[in-house]
Amino acid sequence: MIRVTNKEIRTYFSKVTLSTTSGEEIIYTDTPSTYEAMVDKFKHIHACKIEPVELTEEQQARLTALQSLVGELEEKSEPQAANFVKDGYISPWDNCDGGVCQIQPMLKLLPKWEGVCRESLLSKYKEMLASVRYDRECGGTKFNGMTAFTDKQAQASIASTITMFQVGGMKSTKFKFMDGWQELDFASLAQLGVTVATHVQICFNVEEELVNKLSTLPFKELAKFKNNPYENREQEDAQDLIELYNTTVDQQEANMTKV
């Protein structure tokens, strides 16, 4: 998105969207015709859409701020420059590669833009936690030695089957699990419903707890997580947010089984 040279910092002229057999790929370039020609050359590329690069007012303000660093930023800092202009994020750390700090000049902007950087990163973490929570919510839970489905379809199926017991006089039913079938009577099915509902609620509770915790952290602490979506940092003191989420869910579900 951002072109960095020792003479200028600007947006690339064009945004190219390639439609391929594996999905869409977005490329920012000054020579869109190069990619347009690929449609006829490569079978896996179906279409090429070319658009001018347009910035919002906020993005233009960040680009203007970044342009004060012309001559200081190196070309290899383009990914970090793009993160700042696009989303408002600057790493508060010196990311050194081979002894050369790529983003050192950008740290000059932090005093003014730290609040924006923090909100941008926090927003990414919220998106990440929502995605992790959904995967865990629908990933199943243990019941009677088997793994029960826990997605919304399974929840609805349990509820409707309970209704059939109540109004239809059913005595038992074969219920499908991820790893086989179990014959359940009404009491067992009701307990399955409680187990699934508890699992789902714990998944949401842990998401809320971690979002609230993250919301209290200063920017530099937020940026220490190893799975920071803007960079791939490896630090001994950095926590893995996804692992923290899953570990917390495991602990709370284990505590529920002891009650």
> Smallest Cα–Cα separation from 227: which of 247, 244, 242, 248?
242
Tokens of 3: 């072109």
Tokens of 257: 């089984």
The residues near 103 (Cβ < 8 Å, ≥ 6 apart) are 77, 80, 90, 91, 94, 95
Whether residue 217 is contained in a domain is answered as yes
Mapped onto helix, strand or coil, the DSSP state of residue 181 is strand
For tokens 């050359």, the residue is 41
Other CB atoms within 10 A of residue 59 CB: 18
Whether residue 144 is contained in a domain is answered as yes
Number of independent structural domains in the chain:
1
Whether residue 231 is contained in a domain is answered as yes
Whether residue 216 is contained in a domain is answered as yes
Tell me the backbone φ, ψ of residue 46, rounded to 5 degrees. -95, -35
pLDDT tens for each residue of the chain, 259 residues long: 999 998 999 999 999 999 999 899 999 999 999 988 888 888 888 899 999 999 999 999 999 999 999 999 888 888 889 999 999 999 887 555 544 456 788 989 999 999 999 999 999 999 999 999 999 999 999 999 999 999 999 999 999 999 989 887 788 999 999 999 999 999 999 999 999 999 999 999 999 999 999 999 999 888 888 777 776 555 444 457 888 999 999 999 988 766 5
Whether residue 252 is contained in a domain is answered as yes
Whether residue 2 is contained in a domain is answered as no
pTM of the predicted structure, to 2 decimals: 0.81
Whether residue 206 is contained in a domain is answered as yes
Other CB atoms within 10 A of residue 169 CB: 7
Whether residue 199 is contained in a domain is answered as yes
Residue 180 sits in which domain range?
Answer: 134-258
